[in-house]
Structure 1
Amino acid sequence: MSGAVQAGYAPPTRPDQPAPGRRWLRWLVAATLAWAVLLAGLTWWSVRHDPPTVKEQRSLDQAGPVVDRALGRLTAAVGRDGVPALLPDRIERGCRVTPLDDGAELERGVEVVLAGDDVRQLLQRVADRLPPDWRAGVSTYDGEPLLRADAGEFVAVEGRAGGPGRVLLTVATGCRPVGAGYRAPAADAVAETAEAQRAARRWGGAAGPVQVLAASCPGGGTARTARIETAGGPAGSPLAAAFRDAADGSLVLRDSADEYALRGSFAVLAERVDDRVRVAVSTTCRA
């Protein structure tokens, strides 16, 4: 039989030779695997050596300390222009980090009572005392003054009016992966707790448990607030009566039957709501 190949026909592939299509498929699979290995290696290196470029790269437990430090710095920035008190943290779950991943948002805040009603002036003073790299500024939003700042690592700071003669300063993470979760800083608030309980005893009503809140100070130490709610005595009776000792040599910013604010060795805030009085006794960070 002649070995000539008939025109119009491809020579047959021997059993020991892969078809051209199979060779291409093998090269494609090998190149894909190599790319996947390279991408995984670059990702591993980036996670361990590169700073985060989006907030989704920092979980809630990693962002929490940034929030705590920012809150402490805000208490220092208030100075003696107001009476600050830390608020309980708020965690909102169920937000979407990506279309496939759930997350959570942490927000912490501090309420501030002013001597007068000039909210913009206080917000501007706070903004002026914050670090330059926070790029803090006060603008107007919906006719109201609004402080905005960046505490770093995608943690946002805002300040706005919280009612007549009040300012609310907040620090928020935005939606993040939960990670190990947020753990609030603990603090020994013996003196603040004792002062809050002493005020409750002077009103003579049954007091609820004391809630202690804390935030890290820029120069070390912690800001602390002890909160308690108790019966407030007869309607119209002055709240200041429970704090006469603490008021010695201190600056009283508010003094009425329904509200009392003192800045001295402690920052004291008391307000009457119906037949109850809410008391917050705080030690703040130093500027």
Structure 2
Amino acid sequence: MRKRLWITVGLVVWAVLLVAAGAWSARHGEPTVREQTTIVEALPTVDRAVAAVVTAAAGPRVVVGVGGYERTESACTAGNRTGERYQRLATVYVTPGTEGDVIDRVAAALPRDWEASVRHTDGLHALRADAGFYVRLTGALTEPGELRFTADTGCRRRGGTVPQPPAAGSPPNTSDVLARLGVTGGGTASFAVRCGSRMDLSAITVSAPRPSGPLAGALPGGVEPIVRREDLLVFATGGVGYALRLRTDDVQVTAASGCQ
């Protein structure tokens, strides 16, 4: 009788320990799948991935633009729950023909445990890396002279309020560029990214009415463009990089400085 009692007590104690261990693991343990995490928990890793790209890509005749957090899916499946998915972009403008070299430079500068891989085929250049915490970093040539890098959270549980990324404290001035185009700026968005040098990349994007003349009118005298197309003009002057893009109804002017 006493033996059976001790067996029962032992089983109860073991069950209590298992429950306690499970509760502690759920609260303090590392997640084992992406679906156990939230978007808010993933954003610091997203920011580190974008900062790593910006730091590695920075250099002469390179202009970088960064965006905020963009929700790409609002009702995806995160395990047995409804989740959401976000991404953050960095666009790198370079002299056409050098895109593959820049992709290689970025890949070589990423942490080794990100296991970055690069593919160059038929004029196409692409990068893929694991930034940790189930955040995927990809990069690809989109147009001659344009590389787009994306830090993607994948589908995750909802939880917490998604904050705005840091804003640029003193973004570059775009008024001279807009004046040369003959337009006045409207909506603006500014972002900052902390680079490996501990300096901030300060970027601002301004939307303005579509100009009546070509984008080339915004080019200062004596400045050689980095990318020059009918719909895109990229140049650098005075330590600031500019990317001007014509859209159907407006023009977007992006200016960025820092991280050099």
| Distance in 2 (alpha carbons) for counterparts of 1:88 and 1:220 | 20
In 2 relative to 1, CA 181–202 (structure 1 residues): closer, same or farther, beyond 3 Å? same
Cα displacement string for residues 197-247 of structure 1 (whole angstroms, at most 9, x for unaligned residues) = 332233232422111123333453533321012235333362433x459x5
Give the superposition deviation at 1:275: 6.1
Alignment-mate amino acid for residue 280 of structure 1: T
Alignment of 1:196-207 (within 5 A): 196-207=174-185
Other-structure match for 1:74: 53
Equivalent residues of 1:71, 1:216 under 8 A apart: no
Question: Which of the pair has more CA radius of gyration?
Answer: 1
Instruction: Tell me: CA distance 1:152–1:38, structure 2 relative to 1, closer, same or farther (3 Å).
Output: same
Q: Structure 1 residues 121-130 or 34-43, which shifts more?
A: 34-43
Paired residues of 1:187 and 1:222 also in contact (CA < 8 A)? no
Indicate the residue corresponding to 1:259 in structure 2: 232
Q: Could you report, residue by residue, the CA deviation over 1:165-217 in whole angstroms, capped at 9, with x for unpaired residues?
A: 2111000111111211321222234342xx12332233232422111123333
Alignment of 1:48-197 (within 5 A): 48-80=27-59, 82-91=62-71, 92-99=73-80, 101-139=81-119, 144-192=124-172, 195-197=173-175
The runs of 4+ residues in structure 1 deviating greater than 6 Å are none
Aligned residue number for residue 227 of structure 1:
205
Provide the C-alpha distance between the structure 2 equivalents of 1:177 and 1:218, rounded to a whole number of angstroms. Answer: 30
Tell me how far apart the structure 1 counterparts of residues 32 and 217 of structure 2 sit (CA, whole Å). 50
Q: How far is 1:281 from its partner?
A: 0.6
Q: What amino acid is aligned across from residue 115 of structure 2 in structure 1?
A: R
Structure 1: segments with no counterpart, 5+ residues: 1-22
Task: Say if 1:214 and 1:224, in contact at 8 Å, map to a contact too.
Answer: yes
Aligned length: 252
Structure 1 Cα separation of the partners of residues 34 and 249 of structure 2:
44
* Higher strand fraction (1 or 2): 2
Letter in 1 for 2:76: C
**Is the CA contact 1:87–1:110 (under 8 Å) kept in the aligned structure 2?**
yes
Q: TM-score, length-normalised on structure 2?
A: 0.82
Give deviations 1:98-136, integer Å, cap 9, x for gaps.
Answer: 13x111111001112221144333211211121222211
**1:271 maps to which residue?**
245
In 2, Cα distance between equivalents of 1:183 and 1:238: 37
